[in-house]
Structure formats: structure tokens, C-alpha cells
Structure 1
Amino acid sequence: MKKNTIWMAAVLILAAFLVMPLKASAVEGTLGYQGGISIENLDKEHEYHYSEMCFLTGKPFELSGTLTIKKTDKNDVISSTYTYKLENAEHKAVMNRVIVYTASKETKSNGQITETTKLSKSPTEVITIDGKTYRLIEGGFSRSMLTDPKPAINYHAGEFSSSKIYSINAAASRNPDTVTVNFSGRIYSYDQYWSSTQTQKINVLVETKLRNADTPVQWGGSAEITVSSTARKQIYYAENEPTQISFEGGYVQNSWTEATLDYTARFPEFDKKGNPTDVMKTYANTQSMASSPVYSRLMVPDLKHLNGYWSEEAIGILYGLEVIPGSGNSFNPAKPVTRREFVVMLIRALNDIPEDPDVRKATVPNRRSSKKTPEISPFRDVSTDDIYYNEIKQAYTKGITRGNGQGLFYPNQYITKADAVKMMVSALGLENLAAWPAASTPFTDHDIIPLYVSNAVSVAHDLGLIAADERGRFNPKAQLTNEDTANLLYGLITYMGDEMIKDYSDRMMQF
């Protein structure tokens, strides 16, 4: 094995991203809705290391500390409690905030889920800054989300708004000095096994009214905030230093979560007495946080017969991830792959979508019959006793494949490149990215690509999952070999980890 080459390639090329499902801290909602960023505290359940910007004084500064999130889901009504404990020593600032939300979900006829969130009671918030106390006396919040569940990914998009009025040093006054802060933002996120990302773009308006000063003063400012959090995983090759060891080296998963906050704010300059001037000052900064890495060793397959083979890296990683069944010693790159075998590897490569770690589902006891319902296969030619029945059933249940549409799967037939690509794009749920009603493709053999897969082929090409051969062809009827399958699934994993993060986080942080 060319260890140095593979190590560099694995570090620089392969990016498969996500903390394991039980620690999926980039699930939408873990940032809160106050313009802050968070990283899960792996030592304390439901707690996050948290940071946000404070604009109340007209001079932005960071507040950091902890955010605790607890949720209960009962019959698609979610009650969420967000508890913030933040501080800033330089500004002698301490903040305590508790917000309780109620969210109602409704599944539409097309499977999409709408979620509407509002405050379930008045929030509490008290901030002390350099001896001044800012107390929340009025607050409002509204959030609307749409979730589009696909076989391998849940896509989310939504909007939220928040309004807050704080009194300054006068909780009991009938006409206190006040600061009003209005938020409006958009949310884009997705959840899947190989990465989860959430990004918020927020506009903030601040208005201060000092009614009780010797001369009443009013000033205001604004800010644009972009926050993003991503759960990532990197796989790299670790070479063993001892020579007298039973295996040469192996792949290691390095999992972590990272979050970034970027803001630009405009507020008036203040004179020596603290009064606002007509000059507006621009503040801008970027801050980040990241969790400690979590390492996980992958299985070391027996691939001595592939030493130096050009697809050795992809094959070795998929064996290590147990996407390809077996130990590797009998792997034949040229062997054609059956439909059964491909579905098994695809389902294992996709894995399960992580669930929100902060949600506790309230269960209602019910009486169940002691009789066990007989298992019925979705395909007449796939027995429930098939060793890979569960994976084939998952592919059917999730909508990745319907076989021939008439109850047959043809498990022992060799899978064609066209059908494999169709299943991959169906799993991503992105076939609608193709031109309507039928997409063209750049391949020289476009005319022989079956109509039912042309959209999937077009999307797969645009996403970088497939490329033309040396003659510009797609070869839709070609039978996939083990090597072809390994390269396709390796590319799918890399796309789901690396490229989606670029679209949902990196690109949006730049604009």
C-alpha cells in the first residue's frame, strides 16, 4: 500500500462529515434564534457552548457561556425550553435568558412537513452591562419552517422574526428608558448521516430611547449577522510505526463540529459623555468555535492483492466503513454487481438520518395485540428470509427503488449504470434540479439514455457524481463492476459530506 500517497489523498480529498448520529449537533435549532453559534458539550447532555453578539449599548461585544436545550414531542407538538447563561468579563456583563417555544407540525399530502413556532409564555431576560440593567419587558417571536424529507437527507428552509423591548435601570417605571431590538432571519439547513449544516442570515434593528435623560435622546443602529454550524467527519490513513504488527495501518474517522459567526454593524459614535453623534461607525468581525475531535478506527480489510491499484483507496475506505460486506480478501474489482448487492452497499453508504438529540418523545401507552403480523416482502422475487432483505426493504420503503413497478426487483440481475445512478439521485431527492420536463445531458450517447433516468443522469453529472468516458459516453446499459460501484459510492459519500457543506455554509458565509 502506498501509505504516504493514500494518507495525503485521504486528508486532502476525502471529506466525509458528521459526528455520529447520537451527537448530531448541527441539527436545525441548536443555534437558537438569537444570532448566536453553539457547539455541543459532549460531557453534559442537552448543553452547548454558546456565543452571540450584544448590540444593546451601541458598541457590539461578545457574550459567551452555555445554552441548554430541552424539547418534548407529544403528538407532533414540540415544547422547547432554551436557557442561556452568558457573560463578558471585560464589560462586566452577565445575562440570563429563558425562552419557551411551542411548535406545531403538520404533514402535507406530498410528505412535506410544515412547522409553526410561537412563544408559549413570556420570555425572561436580564442583562447587566457595566452596572446598567437591561430587563426584557416585552417580547414576541414567530417562526415558520418547511421540511422536505428525502430518503437520505432532510432539507429545511424557513423564516423567523423576533421583537424585544428592554427597560434600562427602571423595571417598575411607567415610562422607562428603553432599547428595542428587532430580528428577522432566514434559515437553511439539512440533516443527513455524512454531514449536517444549518445557516441563518439575520437582519437586526436597534432603537434606543432615553426619555429620562436631562435632554431626551434617541439613536439607532443595525447589523447583519450570518451564523453557520456544521457537523463534519474526516477520514485519513494512519500508518503504523512498528513493523512487527499484524496490519500495516488503517483509516481513522476524525469527527468534530464547527460554527462561525460573521457580523457587520453600524451604530453612531458616542462622545466622551456617552451621547450619540451624527457619525456612524462600522463594526465587523468573524468568530468561530469548534468541538474537540472524536476519533474512531475503521476495520482494516485484507486487500493485499490490490496493492497499488488505482481504486485501492476508495475500496479500502468502503470496506473500513463496512459499506462493502466481507473482509476484502476475495474482492474482485472486475466482478459484475447484482441489483441486490448494489442496494445493500447503497443503503449502508447512506446510513440513517440523525435525529434531534434534544427531543424527548412523550409516549402514550396503548394496547397491542399479542399476535405478530406476518412480514410481507414488497417484492415477489425477494424472500423475507433473504440475507439482505432488510436493506432491500429499506430501499423500497424510503422510495429509492420500486423495482419494475409491478412487484418485481430482479435481485440477481446485474445492475446497469443507468439504474444505479437513478437510485443514487433518488436517495438524494434532487431529481427536480433537472430541467423540466426532460433534461438534456452532455453525453454523446444521450439518445440511448432511457427517458426514466435522463433527469437523474443530468443531475448526477451536474453534481459531479458521474463523468463521461474517453469518448464522451455515459454507457447507460453498462453493467457495473465492483470497482465501478466503489468509485460511485465513494463519490456519493464525498459529495454528501464536502460539496453540500460548501453550498449551505461556505458559500453563504461569503455573501
Structure 2
Amino acid sequence: MNKFTKRLSITLLAIILMLTAIAPIASAKVPEYNGGVMDEYEYEEVFFLTGYPIKFTGKATVTEKENKDTLTSTYKFTLANSAGDKLTRNVVYVSDLTKHIVKSQTTSNTTVKSYSEKVTMSDKTTFTLDDYQFSQGSVIDNRPATDYYSGNIIARKIYLKNYKSGKNNIKEEITVHITGENVGYKNFWGSTDTQFIDYEIVTPSGTGFVTSKVSDSKSKELNYETHLPSLSSFVGGNSVVSTSDIISEYDYSFPYYVGSGTIKLSKQKSPTIERLIVPKFRDIAKHWSKPNIEKLYSLGILDESSNFFSPDAAMKKDLFTIGVAKAVDLRVLEEKTTKKKTTKKPLFNDLDVKDLNYGYIESALDKGIVSPKNKVSFGANDSITRAEAVTIIVRSLGLEGRAPIPGYKTKFIDDNKIPKQAKDSIYIASELGLIDPDKKNRINANEVLTRGKASQLLVRYLNFLESDLKQNYRDDMFYFN
């Protein structure tokens, strides 16, 4: 982007605001702790207290209400099956949230506030939840681009089983010991919540075991849409497709009755599609980074009011910072309201508060993903190097701390030329596949990034947020753990 980007057109600004309004995606959340799956129409789970699997389907509602530092989650289930069995369950959980502002983390402790559950079989046998003890501890690491979280669960349910044997009414107690964990992430491009729960079901007949794995994912993907008519002002464009699906797997073992087996469930919501604006640059038709540039322009991450992109010109620090901030929908800092009107001053002398993108840079500085040049200058018009750009991206992901203990060497032959302050980020970015060495295995950390190369790096960043995190938090854990 060039200096003229400060004068954004009304049309482009409207597109950016539209994307901000439609694109944030609700976080994925597994429906309670029973291994069930749901879409917009139906909920489905498997019940095991009988000693053999019974599939229930029906209606489930999940509501959450946050008040100050308390989150109340309410689950209501009305289920049945073709055999005439019925299940009703209403549970309310309360989570006490503690925000650790300095550490940018949130911890929570969850307990059960109220519960009721009853299963009525077609032969009049009933299972009634008599006692429910539940505890979950969670931590959320709030990073600029993505929130990562992990939780552990310990619980115990006691059911009263009532059934007839001849003319006698029999009452038995069934105890279910529950342990488990859940992990997940949430960002502008999607979210995944994966849960592993082990159930030990103790009955008078013997003890059975069930392990449920369930993963709920919501994601947005960029797709290129061809435009077939030849007599047209454009040849194609991009769209954002939002999808949501949940998969589940039960492994069970009841030696005293039905034996062992595996049951798989899945649900998928109807996808939605949003078309994006069409780029019309005249100087990128044969450029190797054309697909990258067009994607970023369509999303409003790169803003241009010219028909020329200048892909081989140097990328400037301010524009790359703005691009990263827009790519993850980094929230602009809220202005403090005061009775007295004051003129806001820029944080540095080379920034302009009247620039429509100033808030993105201010937020990036506030969240520590970019550093100023010195005490008085941000370095807005400086050409950005690969080391500087990679550092901004990795800091936004909050992953720089995952590098080895200082003193290590990277695999690149020009390791000694990597700036000390960028070495951790270069290492992490290489491990994540965000950057590649050249044919001589040099990373060229101090090379000035062209606008075409910067576009490639930003698109790889988007791909990581769109699909790599989902792969790690769902497929890697679901199928290889």
C-alpha cells in the first residue's frame, strides 16, 4: 500500500465495516458433557446406563448469560427414540471468572447449580438422577489473534434405577464417575472445542466403561469463484464460506453384558456464503503473488484506491501492521469518554490520529505485537524486513514463548544473521510453515519484504488461523490421541 491509502474510498470502507459486522463467528461449544452432537434442527446422544448403548434424538437448547464475573450456562434436553424410550435433562452450571489483566489470562471454576434428569424406558424402567457433583477448572490465554483454552473435569452422578421383577419393585443405585478434559481456541476465523470424557459406570451387575470424544468446529474459508462470461469487467472473485460441524465417538466396554464397541455420530449445519469485492489491479496479472494480493484486497486487509498495486515495491511497517490487525479483526481501543473535549494526540510523531487506520496501529502497540522505532517515532514509513514482519505475526499468535531455551540455533545457514529479538519468532514461524528458506537454505531475515512477498506471508497467516489450528485441535487430537 502507498501513502494514498490514508484516503480510503467510501466504498472500500463500507466493505471493511461489512466484513467486521458479518464475519465474527460464534465460538464452538460442545453441548454439555454427554458426547452428544447437534445441528440447527436436532440433538443426538448415546445413553449407557442400561449396560448397552441406546441412541436418543430430539431437541436441545443451550443458553449462556454473563453477568460481571459470572457465566451461567443452561442446558435443556427433551429426547426420545423409536422404541418409546424418553430422556429429559435440565442442568444449570455456574462459572466464576477471574480475569488476570496483567497476564492476559482468564481462569474459571465451574460448579453445577441445579439439575434434573430422568430416563423412562418403554418397559417402565426409570433412571432418575439423585445427586450430581461437578467441578471444572479452566484457563484461557487471551492472545491478540487467538484465545487458547484448556479445562479439566471431575464429576460424580448417582442415579436411582427403578424397575419391576415379577411383582416386586426393585430399586438399585448406579454411580457414574466422570473425569475428562477439554481444549480449544477461538479467533476471528473460527473456533474448535474438543472434549474427552471417561465414564466409569458402577452397577450392581458390574462395572462398565465409556470414553466419549466430541469436537465442535466453526470456521470460515476463502474460496475463489470463477466468473464465466468473457465480456465482463472482471474474471473472478473471492467468497467467504462459513461452516459448522460436530463429530463424536463413543468407545464402550461392558464385560458383564453387551461387551465392547464403538459408535460414531456427526452433525453439520448448513453453510453460508458471502461474496467479496473484486480486485482490479492492472500490474499483477502475471505476478506470482497475484492470488495472495487479490485475497487480501477482497477481504479489505489491503486497501487500495488505485488500479496499480506495485507488488515489487517495499512493504511499509505501518501498512503491514494494519494488515495483520485487520486480518484478525483486532479490536480498536475504545476511547475514554470525558465531559471536556480534548484533541487526541498520536502516540508517535509519524502517526496521524485522523488516519482511518490509526486505531489498528494503536491497538497493535497496546497489545505488544509491534514495537516502535524509538521513543518518538513508530517507523511508519520504514520498509519492513522479513524478521520484523514475522515477529509481528508470531507475537499476535502469542506463540513466541514456545521457542527453545535461548542459545539454540535454527536450521538456516544464515542463522547468525537473524536479529536476536526476532530469533524466537523466526524459529516458530518456520515450524508452523509460515516461512520457507530459499534454495540455499537461507532465511534472509534482514531482507526487505516486497508487497508481493508480504501478501504471501499474510495469506499463510490466514491459512494458519483458518485450517491449521482446526487440524491441531480436532484431527490431531481426535484421531491420534
Q: TM-score range by the shorter chain?
A: 0.7 to 0.9
Letter of the 2:238 partner, please give it: Y
Pair 1:136-2:129 in alignment: yes
Does structure 2 retain, via aligned residues, the 8 Å contact 1:302–1:327? no
The aligned residue for residue 242 of structure 1 is 229
User: Which residue in the other structure is 1:440 paired with?
Assistant: 409
Cα 1:321–1:164 shift into 2, 3 Å? same
- TM-score scaled to structure 2, two decimals? 0.88
The residue aligned with 2:329 is: 351
Q: Tell me the SS of whatever aligns to 1:424.
A: helix
Per the normalisation by structure 1, the TM-score is 0.83
Give the match for residue 283 of structure 1: 261
1:322 aligns with 2:300: yes
Alignment of 1:99 onto 2:91: yes
Tell me the distance in 2 between the aligned counterparts of 1:380 and 1:239.
Answer: 45
2:192 is aligned, of 193, 197, 206, to: 197
Q: Which residue of 2 aligns with 1:460?
A: 429
Match of 1:38 in 2: 38
Q: CA RMSD in A?
A: 2.4
Q: Does the C-alpha gap of structure 1 residues 222 and 21 become closer, same or farther in structure 2, counting only changes over 3 Å?
A: farther
Give the direction of change, closer, same or farther, for the CA distance of 1:471–1:465 in structure 2 (3 Å limit): same
Helix, strand or coil for the counterpart of 1:420?
A: helix
| 3-state SS of 1:348 partner | helix
User: Is residue 162 of structure 2 the alignment partner of residue 169 of structure 1?
Assistant: yes
Instruction: Pick the aligned partner of 1:486 from 455, 458, 473.
Output: 455
**Cα distance 1:372–1:165, how it changes in 2: closer, same or farther (>3 A)?**
farther
The C-alpha deviation readout for 1:295-338, integer Å capped at 9, x for no partner, is 11111110344224322111111111111102562111101111
**Of 295, 301, 311, which residue of structure 1 is paired with 2:279?**
301
Distance 2:44 2:406 in 1: 47
Distance (Å, rounded) in 1 between the aligned partners of 2:305 and 2:90: 52
| In structure 2, C-alpha distance between the alignment counterparts of 1:81 and 1:260, rounded to whole Å | 22
Separation in structure 2 between the aligned mates of residue 161 and residue 49 of structure 1, nearest angstrom: 28
Mark the CA change 1:269 to 1:175 in structure 2 (over 3 Å): closer, same or farther. Answer: closer
Whether 1:497 and 2:477 are equivalent positions in the alignment is no
Matched, 1:61 2:48: no
Q: 1-side partners of 2:132 and 2:319: how far apart?
A: 56
Match in the other structure for 1:365 = none
Secondary structure at the aligned position of 1:323 is classed as coil
Shift of 1:184: 1.0
Counterpart contact for 1:92–1:129, Cα < 8 Å: yes
Counterpart CA distance in 2 for 1:448 and 1:427 is 23
Q: Distance in 2 between matches of 1:328 and 1:464?
A: 32
Deviations 1:408-446 (A, max 9, x none): 311111111111110000000001110012442111111
Give the Å deviation of 1:25: 4.3
Given that 2:330 and 2:360 are in contact with CA atoms closer than 8 Å, whether structure 1 keeps it comes out as no
- Cα deviation, residue 345, structure 1: 1.1
Counterpart contact for 2:221–2:466, Cα < 8 Å: no
Contact 2:37–2:265 at 8 Å: present in 1 too? no
**Cα distance, 1:466 vs structure 2:** 0.6
CA distance in 2, matches of 1:291, 1:136: 31
Distance in 2 between residues matched to 1:496 and 1:443, nearest whole Å: 25
The residue that corresponds to 2:377 in the other structure is 408
- Mapped to 1, the partners of 2:133 and 2:35 lie a distance apart of 15
Q: Which stretch of structure 1 is more off in the superposition, 382-391 or 236-245? A: 236-245
The change in CA–CA distance for 1:455 and 1:98 in structure 2 (over 3 A counts) is same
Q: Which one-letter code corresponds to 2:426 in the other structure?
A: V
Q: Is the 8 A contact 1:438 1:455 kept in 2?
A: no
Q: Does 1:260 align with 2:282?
A: no
1:60–1:283 Cα contact (<8 Å) kept: no
Deviation at 1:170, TM superposition (A): 7.0
Identify if the C-alpha distance between structure 1 residues 328 and 129 changes in structure 2 by more than 3 Å, giving closer, same or farther: farther
1:370 to 326, 332, 339: 339
Q: Percent identity?
A: 30
**Which residue does the alignment assign to 1:126?**
118
Q: Contact 2:134 / 2:154 at 8 angstroms: preserved in 1?
A: yes
Q: For residues 53-107 of structure 1, what are the alpha-carbon distances to aligned partners after superposition, in whole Å with 9 as ceiling and x for unaligned?
A: 2111111132223332222222211122111222222x32222111111111112
SS in structure 2 at match of 1:466? coil
| Counterparts in 2 of 1:65 and 1:376: CA distance versus 1, 3 Å | farther
Cα deviations by residue, 1:424-475 (Å, 9 ceiling, x for unpaired): 0000000111001244211111111111110111111111011111222122
Cα deviations by residue, 1:329-372 (Å, 9 ceiling, x for unpaired): 2111101111111111111112248xxxxxxxxxxxxxx85335
Aligned with 2:229: secondary structure? coil
1:456 is aligned with what amino acid?
A: S
Q: Counterpart amino acid of 1:247?
A: F
Encode CA deviations 1:369-424: one digit per residue, 9 max, x unaligned: 53356534333432322342111112112221131363531111111111111000
Which residue is equivalent to 1:11?
A: none
Aligned length: 450
Question: 1:229 matched to which residue of 2?
Answer: 216
Q: Which runs of 5+ in 2 are unaligned?
A: 1-20, 332-336
**Inter-CA distance 330–456: structure 2 relative to 1 (3 Å threshold):** same
Unmatched 5+ residue regions in structure 1? Answer: 1-18, 42-47, 210-217, 271-279, 354-367
Q: Which residue of 2 aligns with 1:154?
A: 147
Whether the aligned pair in 1 keeps the contact of 2:30 and 2:215 (CA below 8 Å) is no
CA distance in structure 2 between the aligned counterparts of 1:138 and 1:430, rounded to whole angstroms: 42
Read off the aligned partner of 1:188 and give its amino acid letter: V
Amino acid at match of 1:238: E
Distance in 2 separating the partners of 1:450 and 1:263:
50
Rounded Cα–Cα distance in structure 2 between residues aligned with 1:462 and 1:236: 26
> Given residue 126 of structure 1, which amino acid in structure 2 is its aligned partner?
K
Question: Retained in 1: the 8 A contact 2:84–2:121?
Answer: yes
Cα distance between partner residues in 2 of 1:384 and 1:508: 45
| Residue type of the alignment partner of 2:462 | I
* Residue matched to 1:385: 354
Give, as a single letter, the amino acid of the residue that structure 2 aligns with 1:494. Answer: N
CA contact (8 A) 1:319 1:327 kept: no
